[in-house]
Protein backbone atom coordinates (compact mmCIF):
# COMPACT_ATOMS: atom_id res chain seq x y z
CA UNK A 1 0.00 0.00 0.00
CA UNK A 2 1.33 3.45 -0.88
CA UNK A 3 1.01 6.77 0.88
CA UNK A 4 -0.33 9.94 -0.71
CA UNK A 5 3.22 10.98 -1.55
CA UNK A 6 4.33 7.67 -3.03
CA UNK A 7 3.52 5.77 -6.20
CA UNK A 8 -0.20 4.92 -6.12
CA UNK A 9 -1.56 1.43 -6.73
CA UNK A 10 -3.17 0.84 -10.12
CA UNK A 11 -6.84 -0.14 -10.33
CA UNK A 12 -8.21 -1.30 -13.68
CA UNK A 13 -11.87 -0.83 -14.51
CA UNK A 14 -13.40 -2.84 -17.35
CA UNK A 15 -16.77 -1.28 -18.07
CA UNK A 16 -18.91 0.82 -20.40
CA UNK A 17 -19.04 4.54 -21.00
CA UNK A 18 -21.84 6.80 -19.77
CA UNK A 19 -22.30 9.91 -21.89
CA UNK A 20 -23.95 11.62 -18.90
CA UNK A 21 -20.84 11.11 -16.78
CA UNK A 22 -22.69 9.56 -13.83
CA UNK A 23 -21.97 5.84 -14.10
CA UNK A 24 -19.67 3.38 -15.85
CA UNK A 25 -16.04 4.28 -16.48
CA UNK A 26 -16.65 7.94 -15.63
CA UNK A 27 -17.78 7.01 -12.12
CA UNK A 28 -15.09 4.38 -11.74
CA UNK A 29 -12.11 6.56 -12.64
CA UNK A 30 -13.33 9.47 -10.50
CA UNK A 31 -13.79 7.20 -7.48
CA UNK A 32 -10.46 5.42 -7.96
CA UNK A 33 -8.62 8.73 -8.16
CA UNK A 34 -10.49 10.23 -5.21
CA UNK A 35 -9.37 7.29 -3.07
CA UNK A 36 -5.71 7.65 -3.91
CA UNK A 37 -5.12 5.16 -6.72
CA UNK A 38 -4.31 5.45 -10.42
CA UNK A 39 -7.16 4.37 -12.65
CA UNK A 40 -6.67 2.47 -15.89
CA UNK A 41 -9.60 1.55 -18.13
CA UNK A 42 -10.77 -0.93 -20.72
CA UNK A 43 -13.94 0.07 -22.58
CA UNK A 44 -16.30 -2.87 -23.07
CA UNK A 45 -19.27 -0.97 -24.51
CA UNK A 46 -20.26 2.53 -25.53
CA UNK A 47 -23.66 3.74 -24.35
CA UNK A 48 -25.91 6.68 -25.18
CA UNK A 49 -27.09 7.41 -21.67
CA UNK A 50 -28.39 10.23 -19.50
CA UNK A 51 -30.25 10.62 -16.22
CA UNK A 52 -33.50 9.44 -17.83
CA UNK A 53 -32.23 6.12 -19.14
CA UNK A 54 -30.06 4.15 -21.56
CA UNK A 55 -30.90 5.05 -25.16
CA UNK A 56 -28.36 2.94 -27.03
CA UNK A 57 -25.62 0.36 -26.44
CA UNK A 58 -22.74 -0.50 -28.78
CA UNK A 59 -20.66 -3.46 -27.53
CA UNK A 60 -16.96 -3.15 -28.29
CA UNK A 61 -15.66 -6.09 -30.38
CA UNK A 62 -13.97 -8.71 -28.23
CA UNK A 63 -10.67 -8.38 -30.08
CA UNK A 64 -10.58 -4.65 -29.28
CA UNK A 65 -11.31 -5.38 -25.62
CA UNK A 66 -8.44 -7.88 -25.62
CA UNK A 67 -6.09 -5.35 -27.22
CA UNK A 68 -6.90 -2.89 -24.43
CA UNK A 69 -6.23 -5.57 -21.80
CA UNK A 70 -2.89 -6.34 -23.46
CA UNK A 71 -1.94 -2.66 -23.33
CA UNK A 72 -2.76 -2.25 -19.64
CA UNK A 73 -1.39 -5.53 -18.28
CA UNK A 74 1.70 -5.26 -20.48
CA UNK A 75 2.68 -1.88 -19.06
CA UNK A 76 1.20 -1.21 -15.62
CA UNK A 77 1.43 -3.09 -12.28
CA UNK A 78 -2.30 -3.64 -11.82
CA UNK A 79 -3.14 -4.13 -8.13
CA UNK A 80 -6.89 -4.77 -8.50
CA UNK A 81 -9.55 -5.08 -11.21
CA UNK A 82 -13.17 -3.98 -11.16
CA UNK A 83 -15.73 -4.95 -13.79
CA UNK A 84 -18.99 -3.25 -14.69
CA UNK A 85 -21.15 -3.70 -17.77
CA UNK A 86 -19.28 -6.10 -20.06
CA UNK A 87 -21.61 -6.20 -23.03
CA UNK A 88 -21.32 -9.81 -24.22
CA UNK A 89 -20.71 -13.34 -22.99
CA UNK A 90 -17.49 -13.49 -25.01
CA UNK A 91 -16.10 -10.47 -23.16
CA UNK A 92 -17.14 -11.97 -19.79
CA UNK A 93 -15.21 -15.14 -20.60
CA UNK A 94 -12.19 -13.16 -21.84
CA UNK A 95 -12.04 -11.04 -18.70
CA UNK A 96 -12.30 -14.11 -16.47
CA UNK A 97 -9.37 -15.74 -18.26
CA UNK A 98 -7.15 -12.66 -18.17
CA UNK A 99 -7.82 -11.79 -14.53
CA UNK A 100 -7.23 -15.39 -13.48
CA UNK A 101 -3.83 -15.21 -15.17
CA UNK A 102 -3.03 -11.85 -13.57
CA UNK A 103 -3.75 -13.18 -10.06
CA UNK A 104 -5.01 -9.87 -8.64
CA UNK A 105 -8.11 -9.05 -6.57
CA UNK A 106 -11.26 -8.83 -8.69
CA UNK A 107 -14.48 -7.01 -7.79
CA UNK A 108 -17.34 -8.02 -10.09
CA UNK A 109 -20.20 -5.55 -10.35
CA UNK A 110 -22.68 -7.61 -12.43
CA UNK A 111 -24.47 -4.76 -14.19
CA UNK A 112 -27.43 -6.56 -15.75
CA UNK A 113 -30.37 -4.14 -15.55
CA UNK A 114 -30.28 -0.33 -15.52
CA UNK A 115 -32.26 1.73 -13.03
CA UNK A 116 -34.48 2.74 -15.96
CA UNK A 117 -35.26 -0.93 -16.63
CA UNK A 118 -33.04 -1.31 -19.70
CA UNK A 119 -31.60 -4.83 -19.97
CA UNK A 120 -27.80 -4.64 -20.08
CA UNK A 121 -27.04 -8.36 -19.88
CA UNK A 122 -28.96 -11.12 -21.69
CA UNK A 123 -29.34 -14.77 -20.72
CA UNK A 124 -25.99 -15.69 -22.28
CA UNK A 125 -24.22 -12.96 -20.29
CA UNK A 126 -25.82 -14.16 -17.05
CA UNK A 127 -24.70 -17.71 -17.78
CA UNK A 128 -21.16 -16.54 -18.54
CA UNK A 129 -21.05 -14.78 -15.17
CA UNK A 130 -22.12 -17.98 -13.43
CA UNK A 131 -19.72 -20.26 -15.27
CA UNK A 132 -16.66 -18.03 -15.59
CA UNK A 133 -16.38 -14.63 -13.91
CA UNK A 134 -17.91 -15.32 -10.49
CA UNK A 135 -15.57 -18.26 -10.08
CA UNK A 136 -12.49 -16.02 -10.17
CA UNK A 137 -13.94 -13.03 -8.29
CA UNK A 138 -12.62 -11.91 -4.92
CA UNK A 139 -16.13 -10.60 -4.37
CA UNK A 140 -19.19 -9.74 -6.46
CA UNK A 141 -21.43 -6.77 -5.60
CA UNK A 142 -24.90 -7.42 -7.04
CA UNK A 143 -27.99 -5.61 -5.85
CA UNK A 144 -30.99 -7.77 -4.95
CA UNK A 145 -32.36 -7.90 -8.51
CA UNK A 146 -29.01 -8.90 -9.97
CA UNK A 147 -28.42 -11.51 -7.27
CA UNK A 148 -31.83 -12.99 -8.07
CA UNK A 149 -30.96 -13.06 -11.79
CA UNK A 150 -27.71 -14.87 -11.06
CA UNK A 151 -29.49 -17.41 -8.87
CA UNK A 152 -32.69 -17.80 -10.87
CA UNK A 153 -34.97 -17.08 -7.91
CA UNK A 154 -35.98 -14.23 -5.59
CA UNK A 155 -35.40 -13.84 -1.87
CA UNK A 156 -34.36 -11.41 0.82
CA UNK A 157 -30.97 -9.74 0.53
CA UNK A 158 -29.63 -12.00 3.29
CA UNK A 159 -31.03 -15.16 1.67
CA UNK A 160 -29.65 -14.22 -1.74
CA UNK A 161 -26.19 -13.60 -0.31
CA UNK A 162 -26.26 -16.93 1.53
CA UNK A 163 -27.42 -18.80 -1.59
CA UNK A 164 -24.66 -17.35 -3.77
CA UNK A 165 -22.03 -18.20 -1.14
CA UNK A 166 -23.42 -21.75 -1.02
CA UNK A 167 -22.55 -21.97 -4.71
CA UNK A 168 -18.98 -20.99 -3.88
CA UNK A 169 -19.17 -17.28 -4.77
CA UNK A 170 -18.01 -14.56 -2.31
CA UNK A 171 -20.60 -11.77 -2.55
CA UNK A 172 -21.58 -8.46 -1.04
CA UNK A 173 -25.28 -8.12 -1.88
CA UNK A 174 -26.30 -4.49 -1.53
CA UNK A 175 -29.61 -3.78 0.12
CA UNK A 176 -30.12 -0.11 -0.71
CA UNK A 177 -32.93 1.29 1.40
CA UNK A 178 -33.32 -1.96 3.34
CA UNK A 179 -30.59 -0.62 5.61
CA UNK A 180 -28.37 -3.69 5.34
CA UNK A 181 -25.85 -5.14 2.92
CA UNK A 182 -24.77 -8.74 3.41
CA UNK A 183 -21.24 -10.02 2.95
CA UNK A 184 -21.14 -13.77 2.38
CA UNK A 185 -17.90 -15.67 1.93
CA UNK A 186 -17.98 -19.47 1.46
CA UNK A 187 -17.04 -21.21 4.70
CA UNK A 188 -17.51 -18.09 6.83
CA UNK A 189 -20.45 -16.66 8.77
CA UNK A 190 -22.67 -14.13 7.05
CA UNK A 191 -21.75 -10.57 7.97
CA UNK A 192 -24.28 -7.76 8.01
CA UNK A 193 -23.01 -4.34 7.00
CA UNK A 194 -25.71 -2.11 8.43
CA UNK A 195 -26.16 1.42 7.20
CA UNK A 196 -28.53 4.34 7.39
CA UNK A 197 -29.92 4.80 3.87
CA UNK A 198 -29.46 8.14 2.15
CA UNK A 199 -32.83 8.74 0.54
CA UNK A 200 -32.24 10.66 -2.66
CA UNK A 201 -33.12 10.38 -6.32
CA UNK A 202 -29.61 11.61 -7.19
CA UNK A 203 -28.20 8.09 -7.11
CA UNK A 204 -27.32 7.36 -10.75
CA UNK A 205 -23.96 5.57 -10.70
CA UNK A 206 -24.11 4.47 -7.06
CA UNK A 207 -23.36 0.81 -7.80
CA UNK A 208 -20.34 1.75 -9.92
CA UNK A 209 -19.06 4.10 -7.24
CA UNK A 210 -19.48 1.53 -4.48
CA UNK A 211 -17.76 -1.31 -6.34
CA UNK A 212 -14.92 0.94 -7.53
CA UNK A 213 -14.35 2.14 -3.97
CA UNK A 214 -14.23 -1.48 -2.81
CA UNK A 215 -11.70 -2.44 -5.50
CA UNK A 216 -9.52 0.57 -4.68
CA UNK A 217 -9.51 -0.21 -0.98
CA UNK A 218 -8.50 -3.80 -1.76
CA UNK A 219 -5.69 -2.41 -3.92
CA UNK A 220 -4.53 -0.40 -0.90
CA UNK A 221 -4.24 -3.67 1.01
CA UNK A 222 -7.32 -3.64 3.23
CA UNK A 223 -8.96 -6.95 4.19
CA UNK A 224 -12.28 -7.63 2.47
CA UNK A 225 -14.50 -7.05 5.51
CA UNK A 226 -12.95 -3.69 6.36
CA UNK A 227 -12.89 -2.63 2.73
CA UNK A 228 -16.59 -3.48 2.38
CA UNK A 229 -17.57 -1.40 5.42
CA UNK A 230 -15.47 1.55 4.32
CA UNK A 231 -16.75 1.40 0.72
CA UNK A 232 -20.32 1.67 2.02
CA UNK A 233 -19.33 4.59 4.22
CA UNK A 234 -17.58 6.39 1.37
CA UNK A 235 -20.56 5.91 -0.94
CA UNK A 236 -22.88 7.35 1.70
CA UNK A 237 -20.86 10.53 1.85
CA UNK A 238 -21.05 10.95 -1.92
CA UNK A 239 -24.83 10.39 -1.86
CA UNK A 240 -25.29 12.98 0.87
CA UNK A 241 -23.36 15.47 -1.25
CA UNK A 242 -25.35 14.76 -4.43
CA UNK A 243 -28.68 14.83 -2.58
CA UNK A 244 -28.48 18.63 -2.66
CA UNK A 245 -27.84 18.80 -6.41
CA UNK A 246 -30.16 19.57 -9.33
CA UNK A 247 -28.71 17.92 -12.42
CA UNK A 248 -30.60 16.27 -15.28
CA UNK A 249 -34.26 15.49 -15.92
CA UNK A 250 -34.22 12.05 -14.28
CA UNK A 251 -32.23 10.32 -11.55
CA UNK A 252 -29.32 12.67 -10.99
CA UNK A 253 -25.71 11.57 -10.64
CA UNK A 254 -24.09 10.53 -7.39
CA UNK A 255 -21.32 12.99 -6.49
CA UNK A 256 -17.88 12.48 -8.00
CA UNK A 257 -16.50 15.92 -7.24
CA UNK A 258 -13.20 16.44 -5.46
CA UNK A 259 -12.72 19.43 -3.11
CA UNK A 260 -10.16 22.04 -4.11
CA UNK A 261 -8.77 22.33 -0.58
CA UNK A 262 -6.23 19.77 0.75
CA UNK A 263 -7.96 16.50 1.64
CA UNK A 264 -8.43 15.57 5.26
CA UNK A 265 -7.21 12.14 6.40
CA UNK A 266 -9.76 9.58 7.53
CA UNK A 267 -8.14 7.68 10.38
CA UNK A 268 -9.10 4.03 10.49
CA UNK A 269 -8.51 1.34 13.12
CA UNK A 270 -6.00 -0.43 10.88
CA UNK A 271 -2.43 -1.54 11.35
CA UNK A 272 -1.47 0.71 8.44
CA UNK A 273 -3.17 4.16 8.29
CA UNK A 274 -4.87 4.89 4.98
CA UNK A 275 -5.17 8.47 3.76
CA UNK A 276 -8.60 8.94 2.17
CA UNK A 277 -9.91 12.33 1.03
CA UNK A 278 -13.27 13.28 2.53
CA UNK A 279 -15.38 16.42 2.26
CA UNK A 280 -15.63 18.70 5.31
CA UNK A 281 -18.78 18.15 7.35
CA UNK A 282 -19.36 15.02 5.27
CA UNK A 283 -21.26 12.49 7.43
CA UNK A 284 -19.27 9.64 5.93
CA UNK A 285 -18.57 8.17 9.36
CA UNK A 286 -22.13 8.44 10.65
CA UNK A 287 -24.37 7.54 7.70
CA UNK A 288 -23.47 4.59 5.51
CA UNK A 289 -25.17 3.05 2.55
CA UNK A 290 -24.62 1.25 -0.71
CA UNK A 291 -27.61 1.79 -2.91
CA UNK A 292 -29.28 -0.87 -4.98
CA UNK A 293 -29.53 1.63 -7.83
CA UNK A 294 -27.82 0.87 -11.11
CA UNK A 295 -26.51 2.98 -14.00
> DSSP strand E in 150-259: where?
171-173, 180-184, 191-194
Alpha-carbon Rg for the chain, nearest whole angstrom, is: 17
CATH fold for the domain made of 10-255+281-285:
3.40.1190
pLDDT tens readout for residues 19-43: 999 999 999 999 999 999 999 999 9
State CA 224 to chain mean position distance: 14
Phi then psi for residue 273, to 5 deg, are -65, 140
Dist CA 25 CA 2 (whole Å): 23
pLDDT tens readout for residues 209-257: 999 999 999 999 999 999 999 999 999 889 999 999 999 999 999 999 8
The SS3 call for residue 116 is coil
pLDDT tens readout for residues 4-22: 468 999 999 999 999 999 9
CA atoms within 13 A on the CB side of 202: 18
Mean of pLDDT values over 267-291: 41
Residue 273 has pLDDT above 50, yes or no: no
Going by DSSP bridges, is the β-strand pair 10-16/78-83 parallel, antiparallel, or unpaired? Answer: parallel
With contact defined as beta carbons under 8 Å apart, do 208 and 28 qualify? Answer: yes
Dist CA 209 CA 24 (whole Å): 9
Q: What is the pTM of this model?
A: 0.88
Dist CA 243 CA 253 (whole Å): 9
What whole-number percentage of the chain has pLDDT above 70? 82
Dist CA 106 CA 12 (whole Å): 10
Q: Which residue has the higher pLDDT, 106 or 266?
A: 106
Residue 291 has pLDDT above 50, yes or no: no
Closest CA to 8 of 193, 185, 219: 219
Amino acid sequence: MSSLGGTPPVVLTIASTDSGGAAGIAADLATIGHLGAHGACVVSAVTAQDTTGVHGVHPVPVEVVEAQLDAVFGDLPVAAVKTGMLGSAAVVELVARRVRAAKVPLVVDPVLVATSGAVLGDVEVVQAYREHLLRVATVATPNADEAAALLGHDGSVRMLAHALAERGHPVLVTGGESGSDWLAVPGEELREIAHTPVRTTNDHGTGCTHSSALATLLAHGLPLGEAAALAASYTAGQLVTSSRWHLGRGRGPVAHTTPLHPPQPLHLPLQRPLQIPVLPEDPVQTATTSSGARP
